[in-house]
Amino acid sequence: MIKREMYMQRIRPFIGGDLIKVMTGIRRAGKSVMLELIKEELLESGISANNFVSINFEDMKYSRLLNAVALNDYVLEQAKNIDGKVYLFFDEIQEVRDWERCINSLRVSLDCDIYITGSNAKLLSGELATYLGGRYVEFVIYPFSFSEFLELYRTVGPEISSSECFKKYLTVGGMPYLSNLRYEDEPSKQYLVDLFNSVQLKDVVKRNKVRDVDLLERIIAYVMANIGTNFSALSLTKYLRNEQRTVSPDTVLNYIRYCCDSYLFYQVKREDLQGKQILSSNEKYYIADHGIREAVYGGNMRDINLILENIVYMELLRRGYTVTVGRVGNKEIDFVCQKRSEKLYVQVAYLLADESTVTREFGVYAEIHDNFPKYVVTMDELDMSRDGIRHRNIREFLMESNW
């Protein structure tokens, strides 16, 4: 179990406070481990484990607690035997019907510190906004970054170089459990396929009552094939028509939104940097973990330029940036990244193979006249920085603590 200090630094200021700590993200990204890390910190600070009430709602032994009243009664009963503050840890809370009412009631009636996890972006909308508006803080937990992957992969092969580790990362991705399989190819693939099926069935089909599962599978396959590529609901609708499936653009958008709500895909909007406005069509999508794409769809090494983009995009999210695709005239900048007053631009390519490629990748910045950092990130080992634009090998870029 690695410490995941990037997340702990963000969570730590809220430990012991009255705001509800909510951890969301794709299934099996390590939310349960974050709960364990928080417990460790509490124990080290002198809090007794007797003050903890921990429930994983995917565990059948808690099946009787899957409604708000039963859960509330159970926790209050447990709390009678606890001296001092009660620390509540609820894993996959979305399994509990009307859980928002219960959490709000416990917050009011107990001296407690509450931590919850869930695998759906809608966790914090609708009813929750009514009951808990302004009383929670959210942390999205992502699959392992390359630096986290490197830390664990070197427990399997201590002598392995970072470039060899990165080759492995390109195909297996960053789902934490893979370290238990020692990153062996076939078991890792089987695990990722099963994980994908679980996300599709539990978090997309069942949660949204999807009836046409075949259509959903075709849409997911199309988005996977086209990660990092501009496409519209209309173009996907035409593609499906060629597959003898007639469907409206609205249905396509709804199905993709369900996948985004389950954290399988992330939508990136396009921004006109000259007109300073968000464009309403042809968004890009990236997948939460590129290892899932390799296991389910394949072709990561064939589409390596898109996979590198995907890896960089997810790293930007991990570091707290809001990301858009930038358009300047007829040129496009892969990522325009904003975090409070910070801003940076990132262009991703496979290799700067010749002068025309160098001119194209660096040239996209010609119309950007501000002084924020501008990067070109590739697999090249040599530094080709020029004209104030920083060139980075992708491994170094991902490993740098500050950009």
For the segment 54-69, what is each residue's pLDDT rounded down to a tens digit?
Answer: 999 999 999 999 999 9
| Residue 134 binned pLDDT confidence (cut-offs 50, 70, 90) | confident
In the chain, the largest separation of any two C-alpha atoms, in whole Å, equals: 72
Which amino acid belongs to residue 367?
E
Is residue 143 predicted with pLDDT exceeding 90?
Answer: yes
Any long-range contacts for 267-271 (C-beta under 8 Å, 24+ apart)?
268/313, 268/323, 268/324, 268/325, 268/335, 269/324, 269/325, 270/230, 270/324, 270/325, 270/326, 270/327, 270/332, 271/324, 271/325, 271/326, 271/327, 271/336
State how far the Cα of 289 lies from the Cα of 107, in Å rounded to an integer.
Answer: 35
Confidence at residue 225, expressed as pLDDT on a 0 to 100 scale: 96
| Residue 128 binned pLDDT confidence (cut-offs 50, 70, 90) | low
Percent of the chain at pLDDT exceeding 90: 89
Which among 139, 400, 189 has a CA at the least distance from the CA of 289? 189
For the segment 256-272, what is each residue's pLDDT rounded down to a tens digit?
Answer: 999 999 999 999 999 98
Tokens describing residue 118: 């869930």
For the segment 330-384, what is each residue's pLDDT rounded down to a tens digit?
Answer: 899 999 999 999 999 999 999 999 999 999 999 999 999 999 999 999 999 999 9
Confidence at residue 25, expressed as pLDDT on a 0 to 100 scale: 96
SS3 298: coil
Tell me what the mean pLDDT of segment 15-42 comes to. Answer: 96
Is residue 403 predicted with pLDDT exceeding 90?
Answer: no
In this prediction the pTM is 0.95
Select, from the ranges 104-113, 114-123, 126-135, the one with the highest average predicted confidence (pLDDT). 104-113
Is residue 22 predicted with pLDDT exceeding 70?
Answer: yes
Which amino acid belongs to residue 332?
E
Confidence at residue 282, expressed as pLDDT on a 0 to 100 scale: 80
Tell me what the mean pLDDT of segment 233-238 comes to. Answer: 92
Confidence at residue 129, expressed as pLDDT on a 0 to 100 scale: 62
Length of the chain: 403
Confidence at residue 131, expressed as pLDDT on a 0 to 100 scale: 75
| Residue 280 binned pLDDT confidence (cut-offs 50, 70, 90) | low
- In degrees, to the nearest 5, what angle opens at C-alpha 284 toward C-alphas 279 and 290? 160
State how far the Cα of 38 lies from the Cα of 75, in Å rounded to an integer.
Answer: 20
For the segment 158-173, what is each residue's pLDDT rounded down to a tens digit?
Answer: 999 999 999 999 999 9
Tell me what the mean pLDDT of segment 15-21 comes to. Answer: 95
Confidence at residue 127, expressed as pLDDT on a 0 to 100 scale: 56
Percent of the chain at pLDDT exceeding 70: 98
Confidence at residue 284, expressed as pLDDT on a 0 to 100 scale: 95
Check residue 393 and give left, alpha or beta (phi > 0: left; psi -120 to 50: alpha). beta
Is residue 66 within 8 Å of residue 96, measured between CB atoms? yes
Range of lowest pLDDT (202-206, 273-277, 347-351, 369-373)? 273-277
